[in-house]
A and B are shown apart, each in its own frame.
Chain A
Amino acid sequence: MKTKSIIIAISFFIIVVALNSSAFIVQEKDQVVITQFGRPVGEAIVDPGMHFKLPFIQDANYFEKRYMEWNGDPNQVPTKDKKFIFVDTYARWQITDPLQFFKRLTNERGAQSRIDDILDGDTRNFIANNDIEEAVRTSNRIPESSDTRIIGDSLEKINVGRDSIQNMILESANKQTADLGLKILDFRFKRINYVQEVQDQVYERMKSERFRIADKFRSEGQGEASRINGEKERKLKNIQSIAFRDAEMIRGKADAGAASIYAKAYDKSNQSRSLYGFLKSMETFEKTFDGKTSIFISTDSELYKYLKSMD
């Protein structure tokens, strides 16, 4: 009785330990490769849930099933147009064939260092083969500029572009990782910038560019002001001269009209002409004679002829 219960207890213990070493849980995020004495056996387990293996002699090797991060080493890279830029990259990747992955790279750290080699190298190559604009710009879109600011906004024309370079690096890297059991899902430039030493020069260039724009604004202002001023002068002269012309024409017409009226009245006959002359000279006497005037009148004149005699 006593030995029997001890045997039961021991065998129960063995069963529990064996079960514990046999059953294993695969999480949603995991995939597992079973190895027997270090050698992989069977297909990789990608379905989550409880699975079993031979206890003690087989091991479960867990691998991530999710997309994983890869961050490039921020590095100075010369471009084709000999500008040193600082490029920081990132990628997402995934273990697509755990068995192959396990054979080739053993674990994630091995994979990361392999991806480092491939992507950092490709980044360097593709950046070095292109001008800086190609890595910064994506498309040949036409910049929009508000109409009040007539700044010479323009973008250089690009031939390749950021998207294409990223895709080319991705493609090239995936070719190299094809037999590693992993796939690079996406590769992008995170940061591209001038290296510190160049930045100051860039600032200087930006400053001079801005000052140039400022000068342009100023001269545009002066030009526009002069134009308005000129227009003002022209209009002014125009208005004044038209007014003068019209006024003179009106006066002239009136003078002509008056002349014709006078002529019609005065020029009827010899008598009317002599009457006009007579009246005018009478008028002139009245207007011109005053206290300072001295006249000598002969007694022969019509006015005083009766002074001498009644005849």
Chain B
Amino acid sequence: MSKEKFNLPPELVKILEYWRPIAVTLLLLSVLWSSIFQVSTEEVGVITRFGKYVRQVEPGLNIKIPFAEDVYKVPVERQQKQEFGFRTDRAGINTKYSKSSSSKDESLMLTGDLNLAEVQWVVQYRVDDAYKNLFKVRNPQSTLRIISEAAMRQIVGDRTVNEVLTVGRSEIATKLEELIQQICRDYSMGIKIEQVVLQDVNPPEPVKAAFNAVNEAQQEKETLINQAKSEYNKVIPKARGQAEETIQQAKGYAAERVNNADGEAARFTALYNEFIKAPGVTKKRIYLETMSNVIPKIGNVVITDEKGNNVLPLLQMQMNKKNTTQ
């Protein structure tokens, strides 16, 4: 009867005749649409019924009660990271980083000896408790940022600038990881810290030169010491060798001296043994033998008798003349 009242186009009238099956189909479709959902591999689905948490579902195709249940998907397997003191502009083979003034504020911090250091670091984390992450803390990501900054400053604040810049690096990363993890646990964030990586740790720009000067001075020190050591090593072993040489020479001298003495003594003794048998003749023989050896070598031999003493001055003159002309 209503059909006659409105002047509807005939096509619409025809559709309206089937309004029941159409409505049922639409209803079914919407029920299906709101009851089937997909959870991807890195996520879990947290399901609430009228706002109340009821269960957690694994990756894959899942079903929920339509309209009454809601699903929150939380990427629990995905490793996420936060950067402090720098930002990755474009990750890739040649990753580009940038530093703005606000990231400089993040990195500049006081050390325990009231110096300043610029520390850059990365916190890698994962949501390991989807329920806590969703329902225990508001804005867990920004909370984690703040925690990391506070924790890093606490740890750096307990160390000297020298430790922060050199020896303490790995220890700082370990301690920071522990501290952030502990605070996350206190806050029920449902976040697991996978790793804390310390990137560049530098003195602030205005004092870099001074820090380099320290390194240079250290090199200089090493050089000076090495030079002295090398000089030492050059001289001392040589001196040892020379000392050994001196001693050996002395020993040689000693051997020579004693052997010579032995030899000469033996020779003398042998001669002496013969000599005492006939002292007069032996002595005479030796004297004459020696003289007959010696006389031919002598330049001037003058034989005189006791009366010829007066020729001496004359001869003297002659010999002097001869010597000067030679």
Q: Indicate, yes or no, whether A interacts with B.
A: yes
Which chain A residues have a beta carbon within 8 Å of chain B's beta carbons? Answer: 25-30, 47-50, 64-69, 71, 90, 92, 132-133, 136-139, 141, 143-146, 149, 151, 153-156, 162-163, 185-186, 188-194, 199-200, 202-203, 206-207, 209-211, 213-218, 220-222, 224-229, 231-232, 235-236, 239-240, 242-244, 246-248, 250-251, 253-255, 257-259, 261-262, 264-266, 268, 271-272, 275-276, 278-279, 282, 285-286, 289-300, 302-304, 307-308
In the complex, residue of chain B having the shortest beta-carbon distance to the beta carbon of A276: B268
Would A289 and B294 be within 8 Å (CB), given that A29-B134, A155-B113, A262-B264 are in contact? Answer: yes
Contact of A27 among B51, B253, B300 (CB under 8 A): B51
Q: Judge whether B29 is part of the interface by a CB distance below 8 angstroms.
A: no
Q: Which of B2-10, B13-21, B120-128, B150-158 contacts A (4 or more CB under 8 A)?
A: B150-158
Are B236 and A214 in contact, with the CB atoms below 8 A?
A: no
What CA separation (Å) do A136 and B112 show in the bound complex?
Answer: 6
Q: Judge whether B321 is part of the interface by a CB distance below 8 angstroms.
A: no
Are B163 and A69 in contact, with the CB atoms below 8 A?
A: no
> What total of chain B residues lie within 8 Å of the partner, measured CB to CB?
119
Given A235-B236, A296-B302, 15 more contacts at CB 8 Å? A25-B51, A27-B48, A48-B53, A144-B163, A145-B167, A146-B167, A149-B167, A155-B112, A186-B183, A229-B232, A275-B268, A275-B272, A275-B279, A293-B299, A296-B304
What CA separation (Å) do A50 and B115 show in the bound complex?
Answer: 57
Q: Judge whether B254 is part of the interface by a CB distance below 8 angstroms.
A: yes
Are A285 and B291 in contact, with the CB atoms below 8 A?
A: yes
* Residues on B with beta carbons closer than 8 Å to the beta carbon of A29: 134-135, 138
In the complex, residue of chain B having the shortest beta-carbon distance to the beta carbon of A71: B146
Are B303 and A296 in contact, with the CB atoms below 8 A?
A: yes
Would A304 and B303 be within 8 Å (CB), given that A29-B135, A49-B52 are in contact? Answer: yes
* Residues on B with beta carbons closer than 8 Å to the beta carbon of A189: 150, 153-154
Are A69 and B146 in contact, with the CB atoms below 8 A?
A: yes
Q: Judge whether B149 is part of the interface by a CB distance below 8 angstroms.
A: yes
Are B221 and A231 in contact, with the CB atoms below 8 A?
A: no
Q: Judge whether B319 is part of the interface by a CB distance below 8 angstroms.
A: yes
Q: Judge whether B116 is part of the interface by a CB distance below 8 angstroms.
A: yes
Q: Which of B36-44, B88-96, B281-289 contacts A (4 or more CB under 8 A)?
A: B281-289
Are B112 and A137 in contact, with the CB atoms below 8 A?
A: yes
Would A278 and B286 be within 8 Å (CB), given that A49-B50, A297-B303 are in contact? Answer: yes
Q: Judge whether B265 is part of the interface by a CB distance below 8 angstroms.
A: yes
Q: Judge whether B162 is part of the interface by a CB distance below 8 angstroms.
A: yes
* Residues on A with beta carbons closer than 8 Å to the beta carbon of B186: 185-186
Are A243 and B244 in contact, with the CB atoms below 8 A?
A: yes
In the complex, residue of chain A having the shortest beta-carbon distance to the beta carbon of B307: A299
* Residues on B with beta carbons closer than 8 Å to the beta carbon of A293: 297-300
Contact of B300 among A50, A200, A257, A294 (CB under 8 A): A294
Are A151 and B135 in contact, with the CB atoms below 8 A?
A: no
Would A162 and B154 be within 8 Å (CB), given that A202-B116, A220-B221, A243-B243 are in contact? Answer: yes
Are B138 and A271 in contact, with the CB atoms below 8 A?
A: no
What CA separation (Å) do A258 and B253 show in the bound complex?
Answer: 11
Are A239 and B236 in contact, with the CB atoms below 8 A?
A: yes
Q: How many inter-chain residue pairs (CB < 8 Å) link A and B?
A: 357
What CA separation (Å) do A258 and B210 show in the bound complex?
Answer: 73
Q: Judge whether B258 is part of the interface by a CB distance below 8 angstroms.
A: yes
In the complex, residue of chain B having the shortest beta-carbon distance to the beta carbon of A261: B261
Contact of A295 among B220, B271, B301 (CB under 8 A): B301
Contact of B137 among A66, A232, A240, A279 (CB under 8 A): A66
* Residues on B with beta carbons closer than 8 Å to the beta carbon of A295: 298, 300-302
Contact of A202 among B114, B232, B266 (CB under 8 A): B114
Are B51 and A191 in contact, with the CB atoms below 8 A?
A: no
In the complex, residue of chain B having the shortest beta-carbon distance to the beta carbon of A236: B239
Which chain B residues have a beta carbon within 8 Å of chain A's beta carbons? Answer: 48-53, 105, 108-116, 134-139, 142-143, 146, 149-150, 153-154, 157-163, 166-168, 171, 183, 186-188, 203-204, 206-207, 209-211, 213-214, 216-218, 220-225, 227-229, 231-232, 235-236, 239-240, 242-244, 246-247, 249-251, 253-255, 257-258, 260-262, 264-266, 268-269, 271-272, 275-276, 279, 283-284, 286-288, 290-291, 293-294, 297-306, 312, 319, 323
* Residues on B with beta carbons closer than 8 Å to the beta carbon of A190: 146, 149-150, 153
**Could you list some 28 contacts between A and B, CB below 8 A?**
A48-B51, A67-B187, A68-B138, A136-B111, A137-B112, A138-B158, A141-B158, A155-B113, A190-B146, A190-B153, A225-B228, A232-B236, A243-B242, A250-B254, A261-B261, A264-B265, A271-B276, A272-B272, A278-B283, A278-B287, A286-B293, A289-B294, A290-B299, A293-B298, A293-B299, A295-B301, A296-B303, A296-B304
What CA separation (Å) do A49 and B302 show in the bound complex?
Answer: 155
Would A136 and B110 be within 8 Å (CB), given that A153-B162, A264-B265 are in contact? Answer: yes
Are B243 and A50 in contact, with the CB atoms below 8 A?
A: no
Task: Tell me, rounded to whole Å, the shortest Cβ–Cβ distance linking A247 to chain B.
Answer: 3
Are B187 and A69 in contact, with the CB atoms below 8 A?
A: no
Are A239 and B243 in contact, with the CB atoms below 8 A?
A: yes
Are B138 and A210 in contact, with the CB atoms below 8 A?
A: no
